[in-house]
Amino acid sequence: MIKAEIKHRFPDFALDVSVEADDGLIALFGPSGSGKTSVINAIAGLLKPDHGRISIQDRVLVDTERGIYVPPHQRRIGYVFQDARLFPHLSVKENLLYGQRFVSDGRDLGPVVDLLDLGQLLERRPVKLSGGEAQRVAIGRALLCAPQLLLMDEPLSALDARRRDAILPYLDRLHSESDVPIFYVSHAMAEVARLADHLVLLRQGRVTRQGLASELLSDPAAVPDIGVREAGAMITTHVAQPDAGDGLSELSTALGTLLLPRLSMPKGAAVRVRVLATDVILARERPVGLSALNILPATVETVHEGEGPGVAVALASGSDRLLARVTRRSARALDLTPGASCYAIIKSVSVAPQSVSASSREDQ
């Protein structure tokens, strides 16, 4: 359990947040200037808050009331920045070992090298690494300090889309195989949705919402904070048939089959699929003669009207949740009110490969 209550006033900005989350990956999401970096800097000890209390498990790092302030180097926190910040004169191996030198019980190099696939890179100098490789080394170095908590501040934002996609599976693996809780800062919802267990939405220095990512992502009231184009629920499912013969894979959902462009995952693998609200079409009758392959029966749970022409509709399809964005006009014409039964239609090709990731927990 991680708890952070932080109040701090900069000349032009006030931060007032309270975050409480179980271990796992806690994502801080918000627009530029909303205070994300300030929150993790306070946790790392790079920002001394005016008022606050920060604890990891039962270890209190900051309690301004009681005059407790553990200095940064004693916090056992690993920090991965946007840029890798490796020592250019040291090899990859020496950079990794640098992480270990501060702690007597640092982790063995071997498992971290395996986890992040660094074996081929050990003798190289940072100048010979791609941006994604350098970031993997930076993550490895942070892990080798045997941290109690890993802070990652936009670790992919300096990478191009191809390199980002290449490193995401390592973050999936880090998340599912390492027991170190992670605070992950990002303004890219695709990354957050893929990785987060707990989601904290920040705006102008305050938490607007927080909770289990699976619940918050399908909450229509959170759409304004997430952004209408980025909003979308997660379906946790498993691969029923990796190769359906025509370039598609079959996934089993609570109430039907989801066909997606072929996944490189084995039969039975648990997966998380992010389905954008703008990619879901609703119909009251089961449509026929339609090119879209995925038609899932669903029930309307709530309808959230925003200020624009669209409404966000939360749907239950068995135990799965979906979010659809339709126009206010369609919502009225179809009489989409809580309890209405309908069909959610999802085009297979609209689900990007990056929206599908290995799920660390079958029961999510």
* Interaction site with ligand ATP (CB under 6 A): 10-11, 13, 30, 32-38, 187
Which residue lies nearer to ligand ATP by CB, 72 or 242?
A: 72
Q: What are phi and psi of 15, to 5 degrees?
A: -105, 130
What contacts 183, CB < 8 A, 6 or more positions away? Answer: 2, 26, 28, 39, 40, 43, 149, 150, 151, 152
Which residue lies nearer to ligand ATP by CB, 145 or 222?
A: 222
CA distances from 76 to 81, 142, 180, 337 (A): 16, 10, 11, 50
Q: Residue 161 Cβ, how far from ligand ATP at the closest point, in Å?
A: 19
Q: Residue 25 Cβ, how far from ligand ATP at the closest point, in Å?
A: 18
Within 10 Å of residue 177's Cβ, how many Cβ atoms? 11
Which residue lies nearer to ligand ATP by CB, 11 or 339?
A: 11
Six-digit token string for 153: 């501040």
Which residue lies nearer to ligand ATP by CB, 33 or 211?
A: 33
Q: Residue 38 Cβ, how far from ligand ATP at the closest point, in Å?
A: 3
DSSP 128: G
Which residue lies nearer to ligand ATP by CB, 107 or 164?
A: 164
Q: Residue 33 Cβ, how far from ligand ATP at the closest point, in Å?
A: 4
Helix (H) / strand (E) element for 7: namely strand 2-10
CA gap 322, 325 in Å, rounded: 10
Q: Residue 223 Cβ, how far from ligand ATP at the closest point, in Å?
A: 20
